[in-house]
Structure 1
């Protein structure tokens, strides 16, 4: 059954988009809880009021971090100052900084430290700073880390492994407390050459603000005839001006609110638009707070989460489906085929290469552990369409479809393209309208089962004698058949009452399966903000063969419990779709 696509033809205002982008960019860096955030929130809500869109601003405490002063002074062999920027949630050196010799350690992976004594040193890492490199450096006993970008830019980042605000002191203690800075590639190459010759010594000053702040989360509501709704979100905090990350997306949401508002009450389902604070500064703390606070409503009525990030950039000519779960991937493909320019095969292949995953057999467009994907425990299906640069565009980051100015001081107004943003807005508005007015929701749960089987294939290859994996495979195959039968029968439904009941069953089944497919912890918690794979609770099976006997026995206990969790979700979802 082809997904429903509405005939909605929005008249997008290029001028309104450009005005919003210019206004919000001019506010500068928008750290959650700051005056700049308050000004951005006031602008967004004033426009919503002007458009007659019902809205409210949630104000709550969130744990926020941001660098305030970062300096890198070369002391030997010859004094010089290197321009640097800081990261969130690293260590604070105080104004005096930390002084130490510098050692280059490649990408800074654990293997890069093998056989090397770097205790007390500052390490030079051939990558922008991230948590994995910081954790490896701490284990090696270093006192600081300097990350090197891919070009002349310097990226502000976060190194927190915590998703959202910390819930315990033990969780907060997981922050990698060492001094961290980000420098350009030319400066990094010079420092690597000096380090190779020996005698390179620096003083690194890394100061930051970190703690609880009151932040603002504006949410607009466009009601439908029935209770379920599509959730659309974009983060509105930024590093530097943040024009294309993520002010263009904020303007897109605002324009979508204007375009969709006249249909309030006429669509079958509602639309909820949220501007998240605390994306990088709080490691997705805004969307995590929303998921925690409105868990039951989202679980019962959330149709899908449509994340909006990386749109309207200069030169971003290809539309890339990403962070899309299997059950909505058919809808996304159909919508892009109908609403966007065709993507050449070469560009589609390039996009797929940039969206790498840990999983061997899983589609690379599946959601990764980032991008405000705070709704896995709730069970919401998620999707995202970003505008990527072409493969031969020299402006993109290596092995990425996004531009080099991401998270840098160069992400300024000139990096946005109003025409591309207008096209992106039309695509998003039509996709949201299609989801919110679908007679039968385009959720292909047989495809969800296909993702389970793809993940199980890798686990079975690693642990072929683990019978519980074969049992899960059988259960997933049985559910896939049930879902296919349900979808075939539902395609013949025409009246509102029967399609509404079918849609409710689809949502309940999806909300049972997605938490076990994407999350290792309970549905009411958030996994760590580190790379993950599908059916993550089964990940110990990958290393089972190499474990010591007692460790393997304990792992098998945990795997049996995880088997029960997954099997229960499949059984309940099967009963839902099998019911008369």
Structure 2
């Protein structure tokens, strides 16, 4: 993990220092020469140790960090205390966000012993003992696509205006439960809702269950997009259980019974931001961020990245007098069960400052995964040479 942290640190330092003039003598606002940039990156990396990161990681992963939960708030408090002990300027904003926490799901075939392990997902509709015929739709690629030219009015391409693509008729799902192989994501949930499904059981392509979200609304819904809040009950089963369901369907019609429960509504979130100012109050800055919330303990998703962000903030602060640009580091809440609620709220609240002064955004995700063989990065065209 240390090598990945130092790579991201070097990238972010380059964004803050690239093109700076001056002698690199450490005076505020003087910038750094090309050699000074390399020396500064090396000095910053030297201050990062595996031992310190292990302590920080343990301090975060001890908590279940579902957004708005006591565990996530405790992680925010730990990070804020650690940053403040270094003298770093921190701020914790609180705000209301529309959040959906998965609670439980059951899937069973009445009259048989089929009752596999199942989960629901963030954004699922709630239902109790929905019983209906099961319809096998195959995989995600077999669903009719959504017409993309209609903005907020979501319709299936097959139902669109003249000139849309030719598609075979799709099955009648009114009063039926769909069976689909693939991950429960916003796209297929929207497609199945428009097809009239009463519920859906997703079959994970692997022998596992993945906690996911199905809403396509980024952040808190507005009058413009609240109609896209999902209502379709969603359950997920493992691949072997999907295979068994299909073998039962091969022998005749299968009646399925399903229940799903979520806690969906308003919740107070805590957003931690650390600021290492530039040499002047209006200096440009780089924004770095990564989500703090997690399903369960979330070591690689995303506590490893959270530790990298903490170490980066410390490194920048120790060398703050050599920086020409500032750095703002944000630990986002509401990433998973609110679909980017924290980062969306931050942009809405700070839009003018971001438009006038923000130079780039660096996102931290998935650092420190066991047995990872490569470090990957993606970027917009303007930063493609750095990725």
TM category (shorter chain) comes to 0.7 to 0.9
The question of 1:83 aligning with 2:117 is answered: yes
The question of 1:54 aligning with 2:89 is answered: yes
What's 2:184 paired with?
129
Shift of 1:202: 2.1
Task: Tell me if structure 2 keeps the 8 A contact 1:21–1:251.
Answer: yes
The question of 1:176 aligning with 2:230 is answered: yes
The alignment of Structure 1 onto Structure 2 pairs a total of residues equal to 324
Alignment root-mean-square deviation, CA: 1.8
Shift of 1:119: 1.9
Q: Distance in 1 between matches of 2:229 and 2:267?
A: 18
What's 2:80 paired with?
45
Task: Tell me if structure 2 keeps the 8 A contact 1:135–1:176.
Answer: yes
The 3 A distance-change label for structure 1 pair 321 and 285 is same
Greater mean alpha carbon deviation, residues 117-126 or residues 277-286: 117-126
Q: Distance in 2 between matches of 1:141 and 1:303?
A: 45
Counterpart pick for 1:140 among 177, 195, 219: 195
Counterpart pick for 1:98 among 123, 130, 150: 130
Shift of 1:52: 1.9
Q: Distance in 2 between matches of 1:248 and 1:176?
A: 31
Task: Tell me if structure 1 keeps the 8 A contact 2:173–2:198.
Answer: no
Identify unmatched segments of 5+ residues in structure 2.
Answer: 1-17, 20-33, 146-166
The question of 1:280 aligning with 2:312 is answered: no
Counterpart pick for 1:252 among 293, 308, 311: 308
Task: Indicate the SS of the match to 1:312.
Answer: coil
Task: Indicate the SS of the match to 1:36.
Answer: helix
Shift of 1:113: 7.9
The question of 1:327 aligning with 2:362 is answered: no
The question of 1:27 aligning with 2:82 is answered: no
Shift of 1:15: 1.6
Counterpart pick for 1:269 among 317, 325, 347: 325
Higher relative contact order (CA 8 A, sep 6+): 2
Identify unmatched segments of 5+ residues in structure 1.
Answer: 333-580
Task: Indicate the SS of the match to 2:288.
Answer: strand
Query: What are the residue-to-residue correspondences of 1:341-380 with 2, within 5 Å?
Result: none
Counterpart pick for 2:278 among 218, 224, 233: 224
What's 1:544 paired with?
none
What's 1:378 paired with?
none
Task: Tell me if structure 1 keeps the 8 A contact 2:180–2:200.
Answer: yes
Task: Tell me if structure 1 keeps the 8 A contact 2:185–2:214.
Answer: yes
Shift of 1:181: 1.2
What's 1:474 paired with?
none
Q: Distance in 2 between matches of 1:269 and 1:276?
A: 22
Higher helix content, 1 or 2? 1
Q: Distance in 2 between matches of 1:85 and 1:114?
A: 31
Query: What are the residue-to-residue correspondences of 1:361-400 with 2, within 5 Å?
Result: none
Q: Distance in 2 between matches of 1:261 and 1:224?
A: 11
Task: Tell me if structure 1 keeps the 8 A contact 2:144–2:170.
Answer: no
Query: What are the residue-to-residue correspondences of 1:183-194 with 2, within 5 Å?
Result: 183-194=237-248
Task: Indicate the SS of the match to 1:225.
Answer: coil
Q: Distance in 1 between matches of 2:61 and 2:303?
A: 7
What's 1:203 paired with?
257
Q: Distance in 1 between matches of 2:248 and 2:278?
A: 64
Task: Tell me if structure 2 keeps the 8 A contact 1:105–1:113.
Answer: no
Q: Distance in 2 between matches of 1:318 and 1:22?
A: 24
Shift of 1:20: 2.2
**TM-score between both structures, scaled by the size of structure 2:** 0.80
Task: Tell me if structure 2 keeps the 8 A contact 1:113–1:140.
Answer: no
Task: Tell me if structure 2 keeps the 8 A contact 1:223–1:265.
Answer: no
What's 2:204 paired with?
149
